[in-house]
Structure 1
Amino acid sequence: MSTAAPPQKAPPPRRRTGGRLSNGAFALLLTAPGLALFAAIIFYPLLSALFTGFFEQDLRLPGREFVGLDNFAYWLDGDLLAILEQTLVFTVGATLVPFVLGFALALALNTGLKGSGFLRGLFLFPWVIPGVVVSFLWMWIFNANYGVLNGVLMETGIIDESVAWLGRPGTAMLAVIVTKTWASFPWMMVMLLAGLQTVPKELHEAASMDGAGSVRRFFAVTWPQVRGVASIVLLLEFIWNFQHFDTIYVLTGGGPAGTTETFATAVYQTAFKGFDIGRATALGGLWMLLLLLLVAVYLRITERKGDA
């Protein structure tokens, strides 16, 4: 008796491995155009500028000469500390003053003040005006010959003669800070008002029932709830003011006698007035290092806020 052979199993189909990309390679392929654009317009110019800081190069003359760290030493041994001090004076003043003003207005609008919607839109008006236009407006206000400020102060008897607000070392920085405050407080007001509106009303009601006054309620209820928003607003405004240019340049150009000169105006003056692109890029490199420290602090604060 013959037995039939068992049926043979068909071999499993072969997997095609040559024509498929891994997930990592596919993701890299998708991001390649963006990375190439980033390298072309940001990374390469940045490296090129930093590399230029090691050369003596005049914009009016062809060629350049390698000088090593001489350009950096020129600033470290010279005006760097004065420029840093003036930059910090402007940055701190143009950050804290509009913060206090914006916070006060945000608190007032958050109370349900009559006409708060109209006032909120009115206060946003300075924020939507371009910075150069704001600067020219306040240049007219501070003008020593026909400025509105001098006219009002003389009419009220506060001063006896016109003051050159933008031409005096003692008042020029104050005038610049006032101008920047007028332009930036609306943004801070809106952000802080948004934070205030997230504070539960039940907390205020409970604090009032416990006998807490308005000042105590602010420090015990309001401030702990908006502290995170306030810290982000302050740090962002500090970073922006640390690299601010247009208001200072239009109003004073860094003068008088360099008393309002910041990193932004010093780099511009060195490169396009002194035509020394090597020293300008060296100062820009030192400026960038300080900005990176500020950005690192900002990222650290946002990470903590996200983990909370």
Structure 2
Amino acid sequence: MTILRTGQTKRNGPGLPDGTFAVLLVLPGLALFAAIILYPLLASLTTGFFRQDLRFPGREFVGLSNFADVLHRDFWPTLEHTLVFAGGTTAAAFGIGFALALALNAGLRGSGFMRGLFLFPWVIPGVVTSFLWMWIFNANYGLLNGVLIQLGLMDEAVSWLGEPGTAMLAVIVTKTWASFPWMMVMMLAGLQTVPGELYEAAAVDGAGMFRRFRSITWPGVRSIGLLALLLEFIWNFQHFDTIYVLTGGGPANSTQTFAVAVFQDAFQGFDLGRASALGGLWMLLLLALVGGYLFLSHREDRS
């Protein structure tokens, strides 16, 4: 064993101090992060202060004009649609996933096979899922209209994706079908960490099913449940492919979310400045959401 004297720096390898060696190890990762994430992010935020058309070279500094234009035009309706989509999809996926996790955790016969079957929607690419549900919701030959008419629940076909009142619901159903397996896996993992002895003791004390859920199950999975809800909400808040394939933000912008609006401004309206301004405001909302969650989690841990 080599004993280092006071003030002597331990060296790792051929004459490299530990600090230098550690920096060299993380340097490739930092360079990759700067090239792929940091530089594009800063460039996008900077573009929000310029008037820049994708069809023409050059740009003109306009200060906060793009941000003001975004806030005074369609920012608030887009925010409302984004919150409805993200909130509805997250809540529905969590409810279905948690219910299935409880059923699978109960040790039912064939639960292993069912677990693999329920994961099937999760592994299908988002675009494929969107085209599948586009066929289901089709007004002329869709499966949903056919089944409902055959059951006598409807007299005529409904254009699920063509009506503002039903388009958002159809988009939420589609994304929920693709998202609930992830919620199920997360909650099932949390349920399997709850000691079974707690349920046995509660049953001996005469606690019913709802009492056991409230006092044992939910406290045992609350932390992972809240984390899953946060991550799912963030992913849905910036989701793009399902909405764009199914409705393209229509009809009448009833399903236009931030992701769709930024794409349309940049690559259909060719206004990079306005798209970057909208993206910057979108990012601030996500940062506020994550900051609020971290604050509440820190306060809960301290209490």
Structures share a fold, TM > 0.5? yes
Report the CA distance between 1:61 and its aligned residue: 1.3
Q: Is the CA contact (8 Å cut-off) linking 1:236 and 1:298 kept in structure 2?
A: no
Quick one: distance in 2 between partners of 1:51 and 1:91?
Answer: 28
Does the alignment pair 1:127 with 2:127? no
Map 1:123-162; keep pairs closer than 5 Å.
123-162=118-157
Quote the Cα distance in structure 2 between the aligned partners of 1:278 and 1:184. 33
- Cα deviation, residue 121, structure 1: 0.5
Q: Which has the larger radius of gyration?
A: 1
Aligned to 1:279: 274
Return the offset for 1:293. 1.9
In structure 2, the CA distance between the partners of 1:30 and 1:203, relative to structure 1 (3 Å rule), is closer
Residue matched to 2:91:
96
Q: State the secondary structure of the residue aligned to 2:156.
A: coil
Residues 107-126 of structure 1 aligned to structure 2 (within 5 Å): 107-126=102-121
Provide the C-alpha distance between the structure 2 equivalents of 1:122 and 1:303, rounded to a whole number of angstroms: 37
Aligned residues of 1:58 and 1:276 also touching (Cα < 8 A)? yes
Q: Given that residues 154 and 160 in structure 1 are in contact (C-alpha distance below 8 angstroms), is that contact kept between their aligned partners in structure 2?
A: yes
Amino acid in the other structure paired with 1:244:
H
* Structure 1 CA distance for aligned equivalents of residues 127 and 302 of structure 2: 40
1:215 to 1:262, Cα distance in 2 relative to 1, 3 A: same
Is 1:292–2:287 an aligned residue pair? yes
Q: Is the 8 A contact 1:94 1:180 kept in 2?
A: yes
Q: Which residue of 2 aligns with 1:209?
A: 204
Paired position in structure 2 for 1:3: none
Greater Cα offset, 132-141 or 208-217: 208-217
2:199 corresponds to 1:195: no
* Residues 22-69 of structure 1: per-residue CA shift (max 9 Å, x gap): 543443333223222222222111111111111111111121111111
The two structures have a TM-score, normalised by structure 2, of: 0.91
1:63 pairs, out of 51, 58, 61, with 58
Q: Distance in 2 between matches of 1:80 and 1:181?
A: 25
Q: How many residues align structurally?
A: 292
Partner of 1:30: 25
Deviation at 1:301, TM superposition (A): 6.1
Unaligned stretches of 5+ residues in structure 1 = 1-14
Deviation at 1:213, TM superposition (A): 1.3
Residue by residue, what CA displacement relative to the aligned partner does 1:254-278 show, whole Å, maximum 9, x if unpaired?
Answer: 0000010000000000001111111
Q: After TM superposition, give the deviation of residue 88 of structure 1 in Å.
A: 0.3
What amino acid does structure 2 have at the position aligned with 1:113? L
The one-letter code sitting in structure 1 at the alignment partner of 2:163 is: R
Partner residue of 1:219?
214
Q: Equivalent residue of 2:248, what SS?
A: coil
Q: Distance in 2 between matches of 1:27 and 1:201?
A: 44
Segments of 5+ residues of structure 2 without an aligned counterpart are: 1-7
Aligned to 2:5: none
Tell me which amino acid in the other structure corresponds to 1:53. G
Q: Does the 8 Å contact 1:59/1:276 carry over to 2?
A: yes
Counterpart for residue 243 of structure 2 = 248
> Could you tell me which amino acid in structure 2 is paired with residue 82 of structure 1?
P
Q: Deviations over 1:271-295 (max 9, x none)?
A: 0111111100110111111112223
Aligned to 1:10: none
Residue pair 1:267, 1:283 contacting (<8 A) in 2 also: yes
Deviation at 1:20, TM superposition (A): 5.5
Instruction: Choose the corresponding residue for 1:42, options 37, 51, 57.
Output: 37
The counterpart of 2:226, out of the listed 220, 226, 231, is: 231
Look up the match of 2:69: 74
User: Percent identity of the aligned residues?
Assistant: 71
1:216, distance to aligned residue in structure 2 (A): 1.4
C-alpha displacement of 1:303: 5.9
Alpha-carbon separation, structure 2, partners of 1:174 and 1:62 = 41
Which SS does the other structure have where 2:207 is aligned? coil
Contact 1:232/1:298 (<8 A) preserved: no
**Structure 2 SS opposite 1:60:** coil
Displacement of 1:205: 1.2
